[in-house]
Structure 1
Amino acid sequence: MNSIIDLSGKRGLVVGVANEHSIAAGCARMFRSAGAELAVTYLNAKAEPYVRPVADALQARIVLPCDVSEPGQLEAVFERIRKDWGRLDFLLHSIAFAPGDDLHASLIDCSAHGFAQAMDVSCHSFIRMAKLALPLMTEGGSLMTMSFYGADRAVDHYNVMGPVKAALESSVRYLAVDLAVRRVHVHAISAGAVKTRAASGIDQFDALLDDVRSHTPAQHLVTIEEIGRIAAVLASDVGMTLTGSVIYADAGFHIVA
């Protein structure tokens, strides 16, 4: 990590670590290597054994379950941070979900329930986190969420997640305006395609990876650590002049027709 990215003394919450190969884990490692103290969440008891080793390697003292669809769990995370730390400097939201039947169907066949659930978990949860984080960001802060090129263009097999991620990116812009006077900066990181467990739920994802690789200027996929370095910049004081934008961490894929 370049010494210009200094997160020493900063405290951040990372939501969305699924295992050591997830994008959230790559970002968390970059935050930690820059000096940040971290709180980490895991989805449920089934996911905990995969997340605990990551949290231990990060020396995270706050490790809690957080299923945003379970009443009270998200609030409990922020209450623990309030009690233990009294403040929060940055937050990474890296969660998304759609029911399998709806994710694998074309958008026109997506159910109302599936659409609403995908929007709640993948988009509205970020707004909820922003509201809960705000009282803890007394000196300003940074809110980050993970997006994908499918928010801006129709990507084969991305289906319902395209409109949902588009809503997420729009929410970033509105939150950036709402929170500007509080010196809280809001960012969307549009990550390049990465082979993660979560992404593997998309139909023909291997074919998508091959297509992205072939249309990226240097013809290589980004790594979770490369995405994490961008997140670390946005969490640092260096990134505080940026807000409300979609930052592409995709090795230039989005600029190639």
Structure 2
Amino acid sequence: MNSTDSNDAVADFLSLRNKTILIMGVANKKSVAFAIAKVLRGAGANVIYSVRSESRKESLAKLLHGETVLVCDVEDQAQIDQLAAQLVADGITIDGLVHSIAFADYPEGIRPFHETTRRQFLQAVDISAYSLISVCNALRDRFAKDASVVTIGISTTRMASESYGFMAPIKAALESSLAFLTKSFSRFSEVRFNAVSAGLLKTSASAGIPGYVDSYLYAEKVIPRRRAITTDEVANTAAFLLSPRSSGIAAQSLVVDAAMEINYFDADIVSAVTAQDID
């Protein structure tokens, strides 16, 4: 089988050809959202993008040349409503939505969790979690009856990682909302809501988090295969969840961490830590 045949086989398996997917959250070519878009386009889907500002749209002009790019700052309800109105005006029905949006403000670097300010926490909840609810509500009449919504979570919200600041509780709220959205939308549709709960990734956004790089390097040691998760692995899982092939999966968070969570007590790592303590 040549590469063309292989690509066609993948496209046929996912059954996404001619499906229309709205992707929110592309920041650059290293974004998880952009990696998902590449998989979807390879499967024959029609991809529409939504970015947070005109300046972001301009910065992505070369990367997304020839693509439909809309602007929507999810902190502004009027812009969310305008996004929905634009889709109505264009007669677009959405078969899938990718919500890859997160923001946390660390003006003084990572501080102890109990020092998180009200403004920091509420802004992060608004952008990173509530935006999923608000956008889906605005687009409820634009979704196909059996549309699939996929958001990007994290592999665990119970691990008190100091390098992630206060974002784990925010992601916990995001992932919890999946069950409630699935339930409430079931009153009038079969729209599914799921998350890809990713392990530590090498992205431009994550690189800007104080201490994240060290945690990423540690993750590579803990993961049994000794190799970190890639954005392509997350993207492939997201594409599956967006496809009709995953029609029986709803209100779930699929962990993509290459089994990191089973290996925290790896003998080599334990030995290295205890040896330091002895020294």
Provide TM-score, normalisation by structure 2.
0.85
Query: Which deviates further from its counterpart, 156-165 or 97-106?
Result: 97-106
Name the aligned partner's letter for residue 64 of structure 2: A
For the structure 1 residues 137 and 70, does the alpha-carbon distance in structure 2 shift closer, same or farther, using more than 3 Å as the test? Answer: closer
Of 39-48 and 208-217, the range deviating more from structure 2: 39-48
CA contact (8 A) 1:150 1:158 kept: no
Show the counterpart of 2:213. Answer: 206
CA displacement, residues 130-153 of structure 1 (integer Å, 9 cap, x when unaligned): 112221124221111111124232
For 2:91 and 2:20, locate their aligned partners in 1 and report how far apart those are by CA, in whole Å: 8
Matched with 1:35 is: 44
Q: CA RMSD in A?
A: 1.7
Counterparts in 2 of 1:238 and 1:103: CA distance versus 1, 3 Å: farther
What is the correspondence of 1:179-190 to structure 2 with a 5 Å cutoff? 179-181=185-187, 182-190=189-197
Identity %: 28
Distance 2:239 2:177 in 1: 21
| Higher RCO (CA < 8 A, seq sep 6+) | 1
Gaps of 5+ in 1: none
Q: Which runs of 4+ in 1 moved over 4 A?
A: none
8 Å contact kept, 2:21–2:94: yes
AA aligned opposite 1:29: K
The residue identity in structure 2 corresponding to 1:48 is: K
Partner of 1:96: 102
**Please, which moves more after superposition, 66-75 or 211-220?**
66-75
Q: Are 1:244 and 2:247 matched, yes or no? A: no
2:273 maps to none
Confirm whether residue 139 of structure 1 aligns to residue 145 of structure 2: yes
- The alignment partner of 1:208 has SS state of helix
Aligned to 2:269: none
Give the whole-Å Cα distance in 2 for the aligned partners of 1:86 and 1:64: 13
Q: How does 1:219-230 map to 2 (within 5 A)?
A: 219-230=226-237
Q: Indicate the residue corresponding to 1:110 in structure 2.
A: 116
Q: Which entry has the higher C-alpha Rg, 1 or 2?
A: 2
TM-score under structure 1 normalisation?
0.92
Q: Which segments of 5 or more consecutive residues in structure 2 lack a partner in the other structure?
A: 1-6, 265-279
| CA separation of 1:249 and 1:148: change in aligned 2, threshold 3 A | same
Conserved 8 A contact 1:103-1:161: no
Distance 1:97 1:31, change over 3 A: same
The residue that corresponds to 1:22 in the other structure is 31
